[in-house]
Amino acid sequence: MKRLVALGLIALFCLPLAGCDELAKNTKTVLKACDIAYKGVMDGSAIAFKQGFITKDTLARVAHIAAIYHSSWDAACVALEEYKTAEESGDSVNKEVKRIALNAAVSLAKSRLEELNTYWREAKNAYTELKEKHDE
């Protein structure tokens, strides 16, 4: 009976994981896209500061939020590597645990990137409006 339950659990875990190679590829693509967006925000912030659209204080806050995002992104990269190792090991239970951790880490990184983008847009827009009023 225990073997039957164990086989049922293995089948339950393995069926949704069909095509897991795609999970690793897709996650790597998402993390690369997040990194490109992060670099865009950081480059945009530097340019906006140099042109006077945002203050040094705002630039520092963007950098602080970016550091929080980047630590989440790093954690997602580590989770991806752990998932790949579990995938190669053939241990389906460990692989499922690592998949769950990977999904959570990527979700956190994406939400932190959204926070960074939102703050960047709000700060940029506020200072642009102030600058326009000042120039009038």
Torsion over CA of 124, 128, 129 and 133, rounded to 10 degrees?
150
Task: For residue 103, count other CB atoms closer than 10 A to its CB.
Answer: 15
Amino acid at 3: R
Higher pLDDT, 73 or 15: 73
Residue % of the chain over a pLDDT of 70: 78
Q: Highest mean pLDDT range out of 103-107, 117-121, 128-132? A: 103-107
pTM for this model (two decimals): 0.68
pLDDT digits (tens, 9 = 90+) for 12-66: 333 344 445 688 888 888 888 888 888 888 888 888 888 887 888 888 888 888 8
pLDDT at 78: 92
